Amino acid sequence: MYSPSIMNIDELNIANIRSQFPVLDQQVNGKPLIYFDNAATTQKPLAVIEAISDYYRYDNANIHRGIHTLAERATEAFEASRLSVQKFINSYEKEEIIFTKGTTEGINLVAYSFGKTFIKANDEIIISGMEHHSNIVPWQILCQDRGAILKVIPITDVGELDMDAYAALLSTKTKMVACVYVSNALGTINPVKKIIELAHNVGAKVLLDGAQAVSHLDIDVQDLDCDFFVCSAHKLYGPTGVGVLYGKRALLDAMPPYQSGGEMIKEVSFEGTTFNELPYKFEAGTPNIAGVIGLNAAIQFVNRTGKTAIRDYEQALLVHCVTGLKNIKGNTLADPILFYGIAKSKVAVCSFAIPGLHHFDAGMMLDAKGIAVRTGHHCTQPLMNRFGIDGTVRASFAVYNTKKEIDVFVEAVKLLIRK
């Protein structure tokens, strides 16, 4: 694992951090940009932008098989990123790190390849009621294809998993539990260690969707004992189009390739083909080399800043935001703001609705003031249905946001309510 920074909340130099993100230094609709859509994607520091640019400027070459200097430099940088990811999530060996194009592809890879090998008719797969569509649809398709049964962990009114109901769903028929670590729509941090322990007790494997967790929480896949972990670089201050699948070696060795083509083969003839060893067996075709190198730069940015310091600072922002919104008065409504996702343990995501104002309209009005939030169902329609709504306004925070920005945001929301 990385060595956490010794910095604390008081030592974070936000002005210095913000200066590393050029996108923040602009106006939108004549107002300074306030970017509160970090759960959708985080902005990129100069170190990431320059790492991508430098690859194309100086080292642009395909990787692994070239013997010339550029190819060797590109390969070295690409594989250095794999080692960096291994340390960042504490996998046992770097060969357990598979590069994908994102969380969605990682889930699909496991659903297809693990499912093809281990899922049969009447087996059961468990997901939760707060899953992103990307962790619902692949399992639905697998169940339809294999004749398996999909079961869902219900959600409580405060936006937490009903763990008693989860325990009751488990049986010897359960072969896979696929669960989000942190809800993108609510910010809820799920008790994944307990989820994994209970699943393993009945012989089931566990996939964690870590898309929202990876930038906020310390990830240690060995301590969690998860069988698979998936995440995306662009949620971690890195580039889009790059993701990571971690899997335990024994499982990855037993699973067939997800795609075929170059790199994932060892020998090819017209009579037959033998597949490459890990991790290359699951990395068919030319990868997003620049993006993978950019991911390494993003990880180094997080390590330098200190994930504990980032998390503490973001939590302070969340408290400041919720407190400010709760203090809004002067409206005839008894509850001018309805909050969704009030779990005891959550990351810096604030989802809410303003009665009488559609969330899309609220988002457009806030954008007119230069404030970027996300509105809609956040690719969690079943979760929205659980609460009887069609969407929320979601403000999500990152290390470059400030309390002053939140004050501007709260005042803007106050005006929307009063109007």
Task: Answer for the pair 142, 125: CB distance below 8 angstroms, yes or no.
Answer: yes
Largest CA distance in the chain: 78
Measured on CA atoms in the order 198, 201, 205, 210, is the torsion positive or negative? positive
Amino acid at residue number 357: L
Which distant-in-sequence residues (6+ apart) come within 8 Å of 355 by Cβ? 333, 335, 336, 338
d(CA 416, CA 418): 6
For residue 279, cis peptide bond before it (omega within 30 degrees of 0):
yes
Catalytic site residue 379?
yes
Select which of 143, 321, 350, 379 is catalytic.
379
Count of other CB atoms within 10 angstroms of residue 167: 14
Amino acid at residue number 300: Q
Torsion of CA 331, 335, 340, 341, to 10 degrees: 110
d(CA 2, CA 219): 10
Beta-ladder partners of 151: 126
Count of other CB atoms within 10 angstroms of residue 276: 17
The catalytic site residues sit at: 379
